[in-house]
Amino acid sequence: MKRIQALRQRFIHEAWALERMLGAAGASGKPPEDAVTLLGHILLSGRTWRRRLQGAEGIGESLWPGWDLPVCREKARAEQEAWHQYLGALTDPDLDAAWKDGFREGLAFEPRVGDVLEHVLVHAAHHRGQIARILRESGVVPVNTDYLNYLREEALRHTA
């Protein structure tokens, strides 16, 4: 499998995992505020990185948007489509291109595009772990969002 294909697959997994987390948070009736805050942060920070990779300047808003669960669901659908479009245009050589971001504080640092995309995925997984803990502490059984669980469910869906 080519690298870009693998990255696209992991972003599909990320959208699947986020949808499961949104569902688990909503199943509790009144979702824990901290969990919803983190869901919004995952979505907005991912959007920020995608837009910056596409050449946009900073978003001009906090990366902690304070969205409620319905807004998070709406933003998740929009972001899934935006990532699909963005990743669909990338090739393996694009992943090795230096991203001339100009980073913060005048640091001369040029990660590769692929590095930034990996960061987006790891960042989201980190916060999904925090959300799972928050849900468990509020009495909600968190859902399994592991990548291998996703692959298993996909395989079963295609054989059924």
Q: What is the pLDDT of residue 117?
A: 97
Residue 144, C-beta contacts closer than 8 angstroms, at least 6 positions apart: 20
User: Is 0.85 topped by the overall pTM?
Assistant: yes
List strand residue ranges (DSSP E) for 55-142, in order. Answer: none
**Residue-averaged pLDDT of the chain:** 92
The per-residue pLDDT for range 34-60, each reduced to its tens digit, is 999 999 999 999 999 999 999 887 666
Query: Beta partners for 98?
Result: 112
What is the chain's length?
Answer: 160
Q: What is the pLDDT of residue 62?
A: 84
Q: Does the CA dihedral 107-109-110-111 come out positive or negative? A: negative
Query: What is the CATH number that goes with domain 3-159?
Result: 1.20.120.450
Find out whether 11 and 98 touch, Cβ atoms under 8 Å.
Answer: no
Q: What is the pLDDT of residue 141?
A: 87
